[in-house]
Each structure stands twice: as C-alpha cells, then as structure tokens.
Structure 1
Amino acid sequence: MSEWTWDESLYAGGAEHYPVGRMAYPEALGETLRDELGLDGQGRLLDVGCGPGSLTLLLAPYFKAAVGVDADADMLTVAAGRADDAGIINAEWHQLRAEQLPGELGAFEVVTFAQSFHWMDQPLVARLVRGMLAPGGRWVQVRASTHRGLDGADELPLPRPPWDGIDALVARYLGPVRRAGRGVRVIETLPDEEEVMKAAGYEGPTRLIVGGDEIEDRTVDQVVAAVFSLSSSTPHLFGARLPEFEAELRELLTSTADDGLFAERRREIELVIWS
C-alpha cells in the first residue's frame, strides 16, 4: 500500500456537518489562553487548518484581527457564514494549505492548530510558521476530540451513542482500513512533535488542561453529523450508497435511544504552547 498523501477530497461534503456534529470548544478554552498569554484585544491570530472556524471564532474577540486558513473551500464558506451570524467582523478567511504559508499574510502574535497539525508536513509547517511569529509570539496546539465523548461504563442520564456499532457500520460500507480522501490511511507513528518543534527552534512547551468530564446531551441528528464530519466517513466516500448508509445509521441510533437523545461525557482538551 502506497503512503497516504493529502488530496482536496479529504473533508469533501463534511463542512456543513462539522458545526452540528462536533461539540463546541468551551468558553474556558479562550479564557485560559487569554490569561496565559495576556491577550488584550490587540495583535493578530492565525488559525491554521481552521475548518468551519470553530476555534477562530471563539478566539477572535481576544484579538484585533483573526485569520483562518484552510485547504477546503466549503469549510471556509461555512466559517464565513458563522462569523456573519455571530456578528464577528474582525475575522477573514484564506484558502491555502499550511505548506503554502506564509502566503503574504504577515506576522502574528498567536498561531493556533486545532485538531489539524497531524494532517500536515509537520517539520515544514513548523519551520514556516516560526518565520511568521511576531517577537514574543506563541504557537498553540489544541489537542482535542470533539466528535465523540469518553467511553465508559458509568451511568449517564441518557444512553451513550453506540459508537462501537457506528464504527462497525462504517467499516461494513467502507472497509476495515481508515479512509482518508481518495486513499486509505493506515494508523502510523507520526513524527515526535516535541522533536519536530525543537528542531524548528521553538522553546517549551507549556501544557494546560481545559474542561473535560462535563456531560453533554446529543441528538440523533448531531451524532449523524458527527459521523459525516470525520475524514474517514465524510459523505462523498459512500457514493451512491450514502442514503442507504444514513438510513442504517439512523435506525441504529433510534433503536438505542427511543426518544432520540443521548448523553456523552466530554473529553478534556490539552493546550500545548510553544514560544
């Protein structure tokens, strides 16, 4: 099997599902970064691999300007619409891959990566972003998993989504090897991120934990959207069988929760900060 390489279909069809299916980042994430980095409404933020702007829009009020970049045009369309709906006027959006930085975007006080750095040529992107940081600037990686909560046997107010069954259903349609764009992606050992960052000249890191353990209610529609928000099960991968898959998925979910409601215990979020 050849090594996986990025292609533009990685999240094709997933943009509209992402804001519905992914649990929102908590306000505490922005407050923690505000306090740790001394954010005061000045300076510029660059959010790399911003998707539909989930982190960009949360952090935008702490900066004079916020810039989101992503390779997927549909993600940026959704992000711009969400910014308009929220009345956020200091955000702008650019379609480009991280490997194409700096893209004449200028310098930034903070550059963030939220659930995105693993898709990139990490040594290259680390070097490129290093040259974009303003004096005293910080790199912030947001390590999170927001499409599903923690597994566990502890009792919740509502049943958990049947994620094992969902995973088995996806595998029945798409095969046992994780899909990614036009190819498949075998679970592999990524470069050691600390080595990558230190080799690029960064110092640190500082690690902070935000949230975790909160219980969040989820609907059938939200869980379906969570599945379609994943690169491994984005809608285009199912082709003509998409309606059949979605019907089976909804049947699985409604058979688990008669009233169509689930509960999940949120995962903690780790902030990894480099200077």
Structure 2
Amino acid sequence: MDAWEWDETLFAGAAAHYGTGRMPYPPGLADAVRDALGLDGTGRLLDVGCGPGSLTVLLAPLFAEAVGVDADPGMIAEARLKAPGIDWRRMRAEALPAGLGTFRVVTFAQSFHWMEQEHVAERVRGMICPEGAWVHIGATTHRGVETGEPLPLPAPPWDGIDALVARYLGPVRRAGQGVLPGGTKGFEEDVLARAGYAGPERIALDGGRTVERSEDEVVAAVLSLSSSAPHHFGDRLGDFEADLRALLREAAPDGRFAERMRGVEIVIWRP
C-alpha cells in the first residue's frame, strides 16, 4: 500500500502497553482545564480518540457525565477495565454525532491527526453546547525531551531504538497496513478556523519534571506506538523485544533510566 488509509489494525496489540509505557499527564492539567472553562461538576465531557482513557479518567470528575469514544477495540476494552463507570463507545470519530447528544467540553489528545479532520470538526461543532469548548491537549507521553542537562540516570537510547525499529520494519514509518512517508496530518488550527471555531486560547503547562523509567516501561512505550505496535512484527515480535532489551541493558545494565517530561499545551476553541 503506497498511500496510507485508516484501518482497524492501526494500534492492534498496543493498548495493553499503554498503562505501563505512557507517562501520565501532569497533575495540574485537570485544574488548568477546570479554571480556564469555569467547570463546576455539571455538564458532559466527550473525549474523542480516547485510547485507554488516560485523559478521560483524569477529567471525568469535573463533569456530571463522561463519554469516551475510540475506534480500537483493545483501547476500549482497557478503558472499561480502568473505569467501568464511564460510558465507553467503540466507534470512529467520523461516525459522530451517533446520537450522543451535546457536551460542555469535547477533548482530543494525541488523536485528531489520525482523523478525517474537516469532517470531524464539522460534526463535533454541532455537538458542543453554546457555552462549551473544543479542547486539544498537545502532549507526547511515550518519551521525554532532550535538554542537554545532566540526568540522575542514563536516558533511554531513543536514536538506537528508532534505528532498531527501522531495521525490523523498514525506514518508512508504519501505520496499520500501510506506511506514512510524510507523517501524520498537521494544521489542526487551520481546519478549525475554516470550520467556524473561534480561538485559539492557549495554556502552557511546563514540563521539566524528571521521572525514572524502568526497562519494562521503555519497552512498553515502544510497543504502544502505532509505528511499532506489536502486530507489525508478526512472528518476529519476540526477536524484536529481545534485541530491544539488549539495547537497553547496554545503555543501563540495571534497567533504570531517567527522562525529562515534556510540557503540555491546552488549546481551547469555541464553537
């Protein structure tokens, strides 16, 4: 397949690795969203492309009801285990509004770039109540940021990890049954402006916190990615993981790493 099209294998097998491999959002994120939007525990939240529910669960206490939707069955299964009290729906964002009603806040985190953006922006706009907001959470949670500052432990050898993935899967980024030679879609803000949203309002949450990560956590981070999800490796998955662990042990024989967490940006749009 030369041009990538969405398919159900995009994150096949990755959901089970999210809880271990993805670093949590900063603790101040929920408070920042609450204060910016004047949330008071009423209204409804819709988290689109919710994955295993990391953001949904964090923000749900700010609302009377929360709904999370994701196209991947493994992600929804993990979310239901994590928080059975939330309404989890397996569906593509393109299928919205799907009779779900209206919402005070609709969130997207590490998800909108996989979607038919113009279509989703238009569908979701009609689901946001007049005083509501579209909230995009810009974050990278599988790896930290390189600052050049000393760390208390070795950093994961991400350049070597990327090279190992390329040795197994080829130099072009994999995604589902296809490849992404040009990466995922950008220009979200242009899409929302054309769809009639007003904004954006930006809130930056500083990173900078140093976290310790284990060998198992780094392995899980790699396998949580669409570009190196377990299904890509087929019957070579065991060989890949063995080579990955050997690479990590070479960098840190005791299996302990440190990374500096990245900052998070909250971007708010009004319908």
Q: What TM bracket, shorter-length normalisation?
A: over 0.9
- Aligned residue for 1:61? 61
Q: Which moved more, 1:216-225 or 1:186-195?
A: 186-195
The residue identity in structure 2 corresponding to 1:45 is: L
5+ long unaligned stretches in structure 2 = none
Deviation, structure 1 residue 189: 7.5
Aligned to 2:162, which of 149, 163, 167?
Answer: 167
The residue identity in structure 1 corresponding to 2:132 is: G
In 2, the alpha carbon distance for the partners of 1:78 and 1:191 equals: 28
Deviation, structure 1 residue 192: 2.5
Instruction: Give CA deviations for 1:31-71 in whole Å, capped at 9, x if unaligned.
Output: 10011101111100000000000000000100000100000
- Aligned residue for 2:129? 134
In 1, the alpha carbon distance for the partners of 2:256 and 2:72 equals: 31
Deviation, structure 1 residue 82: 1.0
In 1, the alpha carbon distance for the partners of 2:31 and 2:190 equals: 29
In 2, the alpha carbon distance for the partners of 1:152 and 1:140 equals: 28
- Aligned residue for 1:93? 88
- Aligned residue for 1:215? 210
Q: Which moved more, 1:208-217 or 1:42-51?
A: 208-217
Whether contact under 8 Å (1:28, 1:211) holds in the other structure is: no
- Aligned residue for 1:17? 17
The residue identity in structure 1 corresponding to 2:260 is: R
Whether contact under 8 Å (2:143, 2:221) holds in the other structure is: yes
Aligned to 2:153, which of 148, 154, 158?
Answer: 158
In 1, the alpha carbon distance for the partners of 2:238 and 2:184 equals: 35
Distance 1:271 1:177, change over 3 A: same
Aligned to 2:104, which of 100, 109, 115?
Answer: 109
Aligned to 1:257, which of 252, 257, 267?
Answer: 252
Aligned to 1:270, which of 262, 265, 268?
Answer: 265
The residue identity in structure 2 corresponding to 1:76 is: I
Q: Secondary structure at the match of 2:143?
A: coil
- Aligned residue for 1:179? 174
Q: How many pairs does the alignment contain?
A: 270
Q: Secondary structure at the match of 1:112?
A: strand
Deviation, structure 1 residue 191: 5.2
In 1, the alpha carbon distance for the partners of 2:184 and 2:58 equals: 31
Structure 1 stretches of 4+ moved >4 Å: none
Q: Which moved more, 1:1-10 or 1:27-36?
A: 1-10
**CA RMSD between the two structures:** 1.1
Whether contact under 8 Å (1:220, 1:250) holds in the other structure is: yes
In 1, the alpha carbon distance for the partners of 2:185 and 2:10 equals: 18
Q: Secondary structure at the match of 1:205?
A: strand
Q: Secondary structure at the match of 1:244?
A: helix
Q: Secondary structure at the match of 1:105?
A: coil
- Aligned residue for 1:242? 237
In 1, the alpha carbon distance for the partners of 2:144 and 2:92 equals: 29
TM-score by length of 1: 0.96
Deviation, structure 1 residue 136: 1.0
The residue identity in structure 1 corresponding to 2:207 is: G
- Aligned residue for 1:190? 185
Instruction: Give CA deviations for 1:142-177 in whole Å, capped at 9, x if unaligned.
Output: 111000000233210010000000000000000000
Whether contact under 8 Å (1:118, 1:190) holds in the other structure is: yes
The residue identity in structure 2 corresponding to 1:3 is: A
In 2, the alpha carbon distance for the partners of 1:254 and 1:66 equals: 42
- Aligned residue for 2:115? 120
Deviation, structure 1 residue 193: 2.0
